[in-house]
Amino acid sequence: MKSAILVFPGTNREHDAAAALRQICGSEPTFVWHGETELPAGLDLIVVPGGFSYGDYLRSGAMAAQSPIMGAVKAAADKGVHVLGVCNGFQIITEAGLLPGALMRNASLKFVCRDVFLSVGTTSSAFTSALQIGQVLQVPVAHHDGNYFADAATLDQLEAEDRIAFRYSSPDGEFEEGWSPNGSQRDIAGILSENRRVLGLMPHPENAIDPLLGSTDGAGLFRSLVQSLVG
């Protein structure tokens, strides 16, 4: 599996993402600086990792979405290359138009850094194929602007097209008030593009791949990728 990880000024999770790709997918990723205009040839996966690109000035992800490399990312996505945006990466690819909606300030108006529980909403994607619908994952979040917003028509479309990959839930998989860390509409933690090849999510699966980190539940996403993209 050939992979690349984008790096912007302020990115801070690129090496965590690389560790997950190496350990679970057996892929040695290429780091691509935001000022580049081309991606390596033959990519299977592009990762847009977490951090605080451009210091989150203007709006989280807004400046990074205009970086030179994003033109190549959009072109690759149009050709069917898989794209994974995590936390700030979710914000960036949403600002770039690869996913609908917006990530707003957390409802608490506070930065949130803790473990959350995610209920798997679909297995019909390369990112979730090794998981089970309703499976609950324990994965950390660390964000200030993770409150997913979209208009009612978009939310209904995401539901109807089975594109809500993950929702915040209780440890038992129940959707109850108080379990979402940010106030996201319909408890949305991660969504898929129309072609199901782009996934954006606020939690950090790359930081839940080793027992020493408190959970290995994030490993399933990376196992899904290698099984789907390599076979």
Structural domain boundaries in the chain: 3-229
Q: Give residue 58's pLDDT.
A: 87
Provide the token pair at 186.
């319909």
Can you tell me the distance from the alpha carbon of 68 to that of 230, in angstroms, rounded to the nearest whole number?
Answer: 29
Q: Give residue 182's pLDDT.
A: 98
Q: What's the DSSP call for residue 34?
A: T
pLDDT in tens, 196-230: 999 999 999 999 999 998 999 999 999 999 999 99
Q: Which residue has the tokens 């909403």?
A: 121
Considering only residues 123 and 231, tell me which one the structure prediction assigns the higher pLDDT.
123
User: What type of residue is 65?
Assistant: A
- From residue 50, give the alpha-carbon distance in Å to each of 9, 24, 64, 175: 11, 19, 12, 26
Q: What is the mean pLDDT of the chain?
A: 98
Can you tell me the distance from the alpha carbon of 126 to that of 221, in angstroms, rounded to the nearest whole number?
Answer: 8
Q: Which CATH number fits domain 3-229: 3.40.50.20, 3.40.630.30, 3.30.565.10, 3.40.50.880?
A: 3.40.50.880
Q: Which of 112, 207, 221, 118 is nearest to 164 (CA)?
A: 118
Which residues are identified as catalytic?
87, 204, 206
Q: Which of 206, 164, 202 is nearest to 186 (CA)?
A: 164
**Predicted confidence (pLDDT) at residue 231 exceeds the cutoff of 90:** no
Q: Give residue 53's pLDDT.
A: 97
